[in-house]
Structure 1
């Protein structure tokens, strides 16, 4: 089932939460809504489910206007972060719930429901848990039950709101791979909300980065990581170093900064900002260097440095065995060599800046 969202807006108490969302999700696609808290991603998910109503815009699923349909008529499978299982029901009854409460004319027979639940228990690899209650399950097992309940109704669209947010890191990793396999088996059109970049990029066919009620960028993991479309996306993707530079003939220039490894860009001359991740720069010792090492620690694989100049402190990650790491110590002066980065001309509205391709990344242990 394809989903088409057009110029959707929504406010709460006069505060805009969605500011004209345009998004198409293809049939059978798995799309992640990624962004910080308050970006509007959960509100958008609830509007698709019929749990919230927009103030403007359109929502069509497989060509049908869903804004004319009540939530119960949309046949949505919704999986919440905190499972929302019925504690007084067994696993089997929880999964069967959506089928057993249908109007009598649409309700399958008991034997048909039991057979479908059996198939889902096997499919979700929890057949041995059918007679247990939610309180007797681990967090990962409860989330599988919640997904089984959503799948039992054969949903037109499957929606997941931070589905692994309540689980520890190891369980999250296991369930991500499992959920991707479930998606490929069922072929359902799926949208899930997350603030976890690794989760979004590992699971989704496409990632929609949202910020302050707007879609900032849509693309694959590599596209968004290497080609952030706006300063917001660059910062969200970890570009915590922002250096004012001057563009001349497509080259970024600044005191103490070597940009010769960066390709020239077809951008106008003038002031700009170079966005860099802590691992995108290499400190080079120079007794007259612009920056001074204010702090230096090691985690075994990386040296983590805080570098000071007259204006700000910047973080740098350097492989501990890199040649440039030898001899570095607190108080040493360095210049910086940029290995990768993204440029945004300062004279243009950041929200309207076209993507400027990120520069080739430096390979290193992260």
Structure 2
């Protein structure tokens, strides 16, 4: 049983929010919709849930047209960022709510509802909270209750909209690991929305990167991290250093840089742009090199430096502080690029960033 989205489009007034989305989510898969605010993630989730309708395109589950079905008929479980628990109901009653409002013909008996709720309380490890009210719970506990309520009706698809966005960092990390275990045990098809790259990569089987109402890339987390398909994905995933290079017979070349570690690429000869992370640059003392360290700042574990050449090329790099002994401002250094992604065509020059840059000390303060 697969959820199939085809050519889905949605406009709000004159603004296109979704522009031809094609996606298939397989049974039992956990998929993350990752992207910045305004990329269309939540709108897509709401259409799957039956809370919004597209202007064009198709949506089916197990061959059935879901656009012809109401939200209730689709049997969707939805978990909101801010829990949406009923404050006047106990944890037990919140989880049971979806079962108690089913049509009479589908509604289980009271004993069966109680047994289902008890099972979920144990499964979600909140059985000691059954008689408490939402105001008496922590944020992490409320999110577990919200998940239990969504799971109680046996949904075909579980949808989570920024499920950990309202929680602090440590609780988010703990709940991510817990949710992955819950998903694997229950085997539910799950789609969740996030703008947090770490969250998407830790939880998901596949990641769908969205931007401006289109899908930029779909793939396993490691595939996307190592091989971003577009400049947008590269920038969004932290490849913030952009260097103009020239392609010759599949090899990238740039004055003063050692690019020999990069594999040969099937790109046409001519100008291209190399995207890389600051940690992908080895900084080596070299009296004959054209770069000099102009700034250096420590974060404790890392040393972040800026190196500039006589031609005005400015490159930021970071390396483990303990590996950087001997590097100091004014020292000539060679730069060896150990990884990166190359796209054809010229881009912003490293010597002329699109926005005025702060010094490293300002950025770290």
Distance in 2 between the 1:305 and 1:86 partners?
Answer: 52
Counterpart position of 2:318 = 317
Contact kept in structure 1, 2:273 and 2:346, CA below 8 Å: no
- The whole-number CA distance in structure 1 between the counterparts of 2:242 and 2:219 is 23
**Corresponding residue SS for 1:238:** coil
Moved more, 104-113 or 133-142: 104-113
2:67 corresponds to: 67
The within-5 A match list for 1:98-177 is 98-177=98-177
SS in 2 for 1:321: helix
- Structure 2 residue aligned with 1:28: 28
- Tell me the distance in 1 between the aligned counterparts of 2:107 and 2:8: 35
How many Å separate the matches in 2 of 1:194 and 1:313?
A: 33
Count of residues in Structure 1 that have an aligned counterpart in Structure 2: 346
- Residue 291 of structure 2 is aligned to residue 284 of structure 1: no
Deviations along 1:301-343, one digit per CA (max 9) or x if unpaired, are 2211123455564321112233xx3322123333321010111
Residues of 1 paired with 2:140 and 2:278: CA distance?
A: 34
Residue 244 of structure 1 aligns to a residue whose secondary structure is strand
- Which deviates more, 53-62 or 286-295? 286-295
Partner Cα distance (1:248, 1:85) in 2 = 60
* Residues 244 and 346 in structure 2, CA contact (< 8 A), matched pair in contact too: no
Mapped to 1, the partners of 2:207 and 2:3 lie a distance apart of: 15
2:361 matched residue in structure 1: none
Match of 1:331 in 2: 330
SS in structure 2 of the partner of residue 60 of structure 1: strand
CA distance in 2, matches of 1:75, 1:132: 27
Cα drift, residue 126 of structure 1: 0.7
Matched position secondary structure for 2:148? helix
State the 1:287 CA deviation.
4.6
Where does residue 356 of structure 2 map in the other structure? none
Counterpart residue number, 1:275: 275
The answer for the alignment partner of 1:353 in structure 2 is none
Counterpart-to-counterpart distance in 1, 2:344 and 2:40: 28
Give me the TM-score of the superposition, normalised by structure 1: 0.91
**How far is the alpha carbon of 1:184 from its aligned partner?**
1.1
Secondary structure (helix, strand or coil) at the match of 1:279 reads helix
What TM-score comes out, normalization by structure 2 length? Answer: 0.91
Structure 1 residues 121-130 or 285-294, which shifts more? 285-294
Structure 2 unaligned runs (5+)? 348-365
The CA deviation at 1:290 is 3.9
Gaps of 5+ in 1: 349-366
Aligned to 2:307, the other structure's residue is in SS state strand
Q: Aligned-residue CA RMSD in angstroms?
A: 1.6
Structure 1 match to 2:343: 344
**3-state SS in 2 of match to 1:234:** helix
